[in-house]
Structure 1
Amino acid sequence: MTRIVAGESAVPKRKRAIEAALAIVLVFLIAAGAVVASSISRNTAAEASIPAPTPAAELKLGYFGNLTHAPALVGVKQGIFARHLGNTKLSTETFNAGPAAIEALNAGAIDAAYIGPNPAINSFVKSEGESVSVIAGAAAGGAQLVVRPEITSAADLKGKTLASPQLGGTQDVALRAWLGSQGYKTNVDGSGDVSINPTENAQTLKLFQDGKLDGAWLPEPWASRLVLQAGAKVLVDEKDLWDGSLSGKAGEFPTTILIVNKKFAAAHPDTVKALLRGHVESVAWLNGAPAAEKTSVINGALQESAGAALPADVLDRALQTVVFTVDPLAGTYPKLLEDGVKAGTTKQADITGLFDLRALNEVTGTAERASAAGLGQD
């Protein structure tokens, strides 16, 4: 044991204490450094094990044989998508309505889809934000409630039977929300003050002609077909229900948008951006092509996807009701969600994160920048 005699300096003792403390700190730093190095090594190895994003070998795209899906019709028919996708193979599948397309998207049968906003919202809500991202708008407007000529007001609809393309689809939700605003109760099983029978568009036309339906809320060109080919009249033009306070554009509401499976987008961002380049070009073509050429291309595409071309008067009328735009009009989505909740086809939820418009805005540039309205990234 060290003994300090009276009068001996305390400096050596303090020096030894400081040296001991420094030794302890040095040991701690060496140990900490080893831990950090090990952590960095593990993280580096983990990152190295994650495949780098690459272009997809194939892009499976879904859309409908509707005029409101004309950006898809034109992009496929004119070879615009194929040109931008390069070595990525383009495969396509057509659907009648959004819920069926969402089911295919979630099952991996397709990777991206042109679709109405309400099925996209519903998928996002059910998956707690994991399923899809809205990456662009495609069409606004172009949906109407058309009815038999003897029906002159909402009051005449009690006890009547109406159709929509599919339960939970955008037109189905719009119809149920509007009927609710008129004091009618509807149920998803078809019962209520007004019966709603979700029906494929082509069958709706035939059933209306046969007197088995009193009306339908339809996208174009089906609304125009019932008016011009079956004697229906317009009771509600949906554009009259949107004053522009949510979209910033009076009369405009989203009818068709472009969505992508989130896992596919994360794995193949370059392929998604190539699809968007094709989409933006298709929309520009629709807004700039001579009328005769536009009519010819759209009709040719409808012939291939829907099985029949349209009479000139039907296509002309339908085109007057639709606006082609890459803006998804994100500000309208809280109301679309609210309408779905009231219709009983979705549940109340936070839809923040639904939009990812970064790639779209890179493609279009700042002059046409689309806003996510606080519901995602732009």
Structure 2
Amino acid sequence: MKKIFYGMVILAMSLFLSACGESAGADSNGEGTDEITIGYFPNINHVAGMVAEEKEMYSETLPDGTKVNYQYFPDGSAFMTALETGDIQGGLVGPGPAMNHFTSGAKINVVAAGSTGGTVIMARNGANIESPEDMAGKTFISPRVGCTHDVQFETMMKEEYGITSDRIDGKMKHVTGKPATYASLFETGKVDVATVPEPWASSIEAEGNGEVLVDTPNVAYGETLPAAVFVTSQDLVKNNPDMVQNIVDAHKQATEFIQENPEEAKQIAIKKIKDITDQELSKEVIDNAWERIDFTYDVEEKHLQDFANSSYDLGFLKEKPDLTGLVDKSFIE
């Protein structure tokens, strides 16, 4: 498929890339459309999106003649806005943005998971941080305020070490930025710690700009929380469940392909990340990142609810969350 690139998402820190543009002829509930758009991020947790695109799996499961477009996003806020406006019909996003938008009234459904794990806390070389207790007065970076990786880090720091950020009257300074830039920010000394999605943590390790402060299993919800969930609109679920089933079937196929063909999936990930970010990651980096991730489409509402409660406790949600109705597992059962 011919792709029109409007700008580099990550390295240029500009507009997100759009493959083939917006979906023409698609309304918010997907009725009468012969064209859809799927979104995902250039992160290892989103490899199912890369595999499905590269192997044209959505074209296989959708009705003949359906045109499939792709959009690549720098963060969950941009993804959720595109979903709510109908610019995309579904795709992979972190659970944090999905839950935050749902509790704010967005009519969305999580219909599958994409992966678990993959969040790593990295410390800059020379920052004099030997353990999380050393974080008081230091600066940390996350992709967005209240994003999945942000909440995981803040929850761990508050519950285990009693240290919070300046957003909640604490002693850590917080800034935001795109994960692919973290290595350069470490190199220039602009941040001390980063809560990093893979493969960017492994990239920082390989470049020697930082070390692992807390590995995936010890980050809050590190192994139980979906690192990516597949989201669509409730309108689409209600008015065009066949389309949703076709989309989820392709996502399931992509996930099973990753499980059965990890080496080929890694090569696809290397290629797609280079296409999207203009940054080529080594096989060593991808291999290291892969060890921290479990690719699965199964999703449990309880794990999302526990995480949402932590987001509320940190003040990222104004009201105590009730995620009843967010998850619809009927398409993966």
Kindly indicate whether the alpha-carbon contact (under 8 Å) linking 2:48 and 2:251 is maintained by their aligned counterparts in 1.
Answer: yes
After superposition, the C-alpha distances for 1:248-270 in whole angstroms (9 at most, x for unaligned) are: xx933210110001112222211
Kindly indicate whether the alpha-carbon contact (under 8 Å) linking 2:120 and 2:219 is maintained by their aligned counterparts in 1.
Answer: no
Larger Rg: 1
* Aligned-partner residue type, residue 156 of structure 2: W
Whether 2:34 is the aligned partner of 1:57: answer yes
Whether 2:233 is the aligned partner of 1:233: answer no
After superposition, the C-alpha distances for 1:36-86 in whole angstroms (9 at most, x for unaligned) are: xxxxxxxxxxxxxxxx98563222211100010000011001111222123
How is 1:41-190 mapped onto 2 (pairs within 5 angstroms)? 56-85=33-62, 86-127=64-105, 130-149=106-125, 150-181=128-159, 182-188=161-167
How is 1:136-285 mapped onto 2 (pairs within 5 angstroms)? 136-149=112-125, 150-181=128-159, 182-188=161-167, 192-241=170-219, 251-285=223-257
Distance 1:152 1:358 in 2: 46
* Aligned-partner residue type, residue 152 of structure 1: E
Distance 1:170 1:280 in 2: 23
Kindly indicate whether the alpha-carbon contact (under 8 Å) linking 2:35 and 2:69 is maintained by their aligned counterparts in 1.
Answer: yes
After superposition, the C-alpha distances for 1:244-292 in whole angstroms (9 at most, x for unaligned) are: xxxxxx933210110001112222211111111110110001001152x
Whether 2:313 is the aligned partner of 1:342: answer yes
Kindly indicate whether the alpha-carbon contact (under 8 Å) linking 2:38 and 2:88 is maintained by their aligned counterparts in 1.
Answer: yes
Distance 1:145 1:214 in 2: 11
Backbone CA RMSD of aligned residues:
2.1
Kindly indicate whether the alpha-carbon contact (under 8 Å) linking 1:167 and 1:188 is maintained by their aligned counterparts in 2.
Answer: no
The 1:53–1:185 alpha-carbon spacing in structure 2 relative to 1, beyond 3 Å, is closer
Q: Can you give the 5+ residue segments of structure 1 that lack an aligned partner in the other structure?
A: 1-51, 244-249, 362-378
How is 1:299-318 mapped onto 2 (pairs within 5 angstroms)? 299-318=270-289
Q: In the alignment, what sits opposite 1:37?
A: none
Structure 1 stretches of 4+ with a deviation exceeding 3 A read 52-56
Aligned mate of 1:333, from 304, 308, 323: 304
The 1:342–1:297 alpha-carbon spacing in structure 2 relative to 1, beyond 3 Å, is same
After superposition, the C-alpha distances for 1:6-58 in whole angstroms (9 at most, x for unaligned) are: xxxxxxxxxxxxxxxxxxxxxxxxxxxxxxxxxxxxxxxxxxxxxx9856322
Kindly indicate whether the alpha-carbon contact (under 8 Å) linking 1:54 and 1:269 is maintained by their aligned counterparts in 2.
Answer: no
Three-state SS of the structure 1 residue aligned to 2:163 is: coil
Structure with the larger helix share: 1
Give the percent of matched residue pairs that are identical in Structure 1 and Structure 2: 26
* Aligned-partner residue type, residue 79 of structure 1: E
Kindly indicate whether the alpha-carbon contact (under 8 Å) linking 1:69 and 1:139 is maintained by their aligned counterparts in 2.
Answer: yes
* Aligned-partner residue type, residue 281 of structure 2: L
Three-state SS of the structure 1 residue aligned to 2:72 is: strand
Three-state SS of the structure 1 residue aligned to 2:170 is: coil
Three-state SS of the structure 2 residue aligned to 1:72 is: helix
Kindly indicate whether the alpha-carbon contact (under 8 Å) linking 1:56 and 1:268 is maintained by their aligned counterparts in 2.
Answer: no
The TM-score, its normalising length taken from structure 2, stands at 0.84
Corresponding pairs, count: 300
Three-state SS of the structure 2 residue aligned to 1:355 is: coil
The 1:187–1:359 alpha-carbon spacing in structure 2 relative to 1, beyond 3 Å, is same
Alpha-carbon shift at residue 305 of structure 1 (Å): 2.3
> After the TM superposition, which of the residue ranges 174-183 and 280-289 deviates more from structure 2?
174-183
Q: In the alignment, what sits opposite 1:322?
A: 293
* Aligned-partner residue type, residue 36 of structure 2: L
